[in-house]
Copies of this chain bind each other. A is one copy, B any other.
Amino acid sequence: MSSERKFIENIWYAAGWEWEVAEADNKLARTICEVPLVFYKTEGGDYVALDNRCCHRSAPLSLGRIEGDCLRCMYHGMLFNPEGKVVQIPGQDHIASSMKVRSYPVECRGGMIWIWMGDPEQANPDLIHDFAPLSQPDQWRGFDKESYLHYDANWLLIVDNLSDFSHVAFVHTTTLGGSEEYAYDTKIENLEQLDNGYRVERWHRNSPPPPFHSKVIPENEQEQMLDRCNRMGMYLPGVFLMDTIFEPVDGEGKKDDSRPVREYRNCQFMTPETYNTTHFFWNYLHCDQLENDDISLSLKDSLMEGFMEDKVFIEAQQKLLQDSPDFVPRSFSADEALTYFRLRWNAKLKEENAANPVQPARENKKRIL
């Protein structure tokens, strides 16, 4: 066993969309940071996260039954309250105080359930990355489901991917990119280094609309030139928020006020399931013709097609890196943002390990396997 933790704990992780819990019969088994958890929705409508292993014999609580605010293990019937304490043992009156599992702080924002994996005392909800468009259905329309993907890859490889949009030129030429020129012509701009991540812009000036956008705008705009701007923020542990703005230009790069500016909002949350697998949550929101289902559908298809293109590369990277731990990457100038993000992750992780060293496991005389 390593003597250092692999994941920052005192931070909010995106844990699951509310629709996922609903689809899982209100009891979702999900591993986060290598901790098996059960998320359940109480009959009162609150979300609870507990270790997904009964303290008795390690049966999964996700096979259990919701009773009011509580969850009953359906192996031998122990009843757990939202704090993780056993409050009933069938056939036995006394309940030892050691009869409990760990309960984790959870909060909901815009349909996403966030979990705090560290010290509950420090779980400040103000630190959650509450992406406003997710809670503004009258201004922004995303989609309800299918907004989850599972990756066989370390989450930082996805962060890397999003931290350098030059890949859009090659990986997404015919979907999100539009042309290979994007890699030659655009650069990271205005990189703002934060304690918990970075903010950056990328402008593609005087360029035709990329395929995903072209598919949802009126025909008469499809040939006209645009200044395309992506304003992105990437925050620990793996939260990507992006505003995309298409400003019409007149072909010589001057703003063309006769046509509308169009905007999108995009969030992508990368949460480690294990060190080598990732929960990937996303949504893509538009603000035009909110009642038009075709626009929403077209954007979802375009984005999903793009994500699948990324997935091939990222999971292949993962496999090659696992096979060759000695690989030394060679950086180029576009790696500035991703390099900075990894520095911040490592610094914060080191800080936590120093402040609160992992205790070596005590000899376990009771182990049952």
Q: Are B180 and A77 in contact (CB under 8 A)?
A: yes
Give the distance in Å from the alpha carbon of A313 to the alpha carbon of B324 in the complex. 31
Give the distance in Å from the alpha carbon of A329 to the alpha carbon of B59 in the complex. 11
Q: Are B183 and A53 in contact (CB under 8 A)?
A: no
Q: Is A71 an interface residue (CB 8 A)?
A: no
Q: Is A3 an interface residue (CB 8 A)?
A: no
Q: Mark A289-327, 1 if CB is under 8 A from B, else 0.
A: 000000000000000000000001100111011111111
Q: Are A171 and B74 in contact (CB under 8 A)?
A: yes
Q: Are B321 and A58 in contact (CB under 8 A)?
A: yes
Considering the complex, give the chain B residue whose CB is closest to the CB of A334: B91
Q: Is A30 an interface residue (CB 8 A)?
A: no
Known: A74-B171, A334-B76. A59 touches B317 (CB 8 A): yes
Give the contact stretch, choosing among A13-21, A122-130, A359-367.
A359-367
Q: Are B369 and A60 in contact (CB under 8 A)?
A: no
Q: Are A313 and B90 in contact (CB under 8 A)?
A: no
Q: Are B325 and A90 in contact (CB under 8 A)?
A: no
Known: A91-B187, A328-B366, A368-B329. A75 touches B321 (CB 8 A): no
Give the distance in Å from the alpha carbon of A302 to the alpha carbon of B330 in the complex. 51
* CB-contact partner of A169 in B78, B90, B157, under 8 A: B90
Q: Is A83 an interface residue (CB 8 A)?
A: no
Instruction: Kindly list chain B residues whose C-beta atoms are within 8 Å of the C-beta of A229.
Output: none
Q: Are A313 and B77 in contact (CB under 8 A)?
A: no
Give the contact stretch, choosing among A92-100, A233-241, A257-265.
A92-100
Q: Are B75 and A320 in contact (CB under 8 A)?
A: no
Give the distance in Å from the alpha carbon of A324 to the alpha carbon of B185 in the complex. 50
Q: Is A160 an interface residue (CB 8 A)?
A: yes
Chain B CB within 10 Å, residue with most, of A75, A89, A322:
A75
Q: Is A220 an interface residue (CB 8 A)?
A: no
Instruction: Kindly list chain B residues whose C-beta atoms are within 8 Å of the C-beta of A180.
Output: 77, 90
Q: Is A109 an interface residue (CB 8 A)?
A: no
Interface residue ranges of A167-221 to B (CB < 8 Å): 167, 169-171, 180, 183-187
Give the distance in Å from the alpha carbon of A72 to the alpha carbon of B318 in the complex. 20
Q: Mark A330-348, 1 if CB is under 8 A from B, else 0.
A: 1111100000001000000
Known: A91-B183, A329-B58. A75 touches B323 (CB 8 A): no
Q: Is A250 an interface residue (CB 8 A)?
A: no
Instruction: Kindly list chain B residues whose C-beta atoms are within 8 Å of the C-beta of A99.
Output: 330, 332
* CB-contact partner of A53 in B60, B90, B320, under 8 A: B320
* CB-contact partner of A98 in B58, B167, B326, B330, under 8 A: B330
Considering the complex, give the chain B residue whose CB is closest to the CB of A276: B369
Give the distance in Å from the alpha carbon of A50 to the alpha carbon of B213 in the complex. 38
Q: Is A349 an interface residue (CB 8 A)?
A: no
* Chain B: minimal CB distance from A76 (Å): 5
Known: A170-B75, A320-B52. A154 touches B327 (CB 8 A): no
- Given contacts A53-B327, A58-B320, A98-B330, 16 further A-B pairs with CB under 8 A are A34-B323, A36-B320, A36-B323, A55-B330, A57-B317, A58-B321, A59-B317, A60-B320, A90-B169, A90-B183, A90-B184, A91-B166, A91-B187, A99-B332, A328-B366, A329-B368
List 4 tightest A-B contacts by C-beta distance, closest first: A90-B183, A321-B369, A326-B361, A55-B330
14 contacts between A and B (CB under 8 A): A52-B320, A57-B157, A58-B317, A58-B327, A59-B320, A60-B317, A73-B170, A89-B332, A91-B183, A91-B185, A98-B330, A99-B330, A322-B369, A329-B366
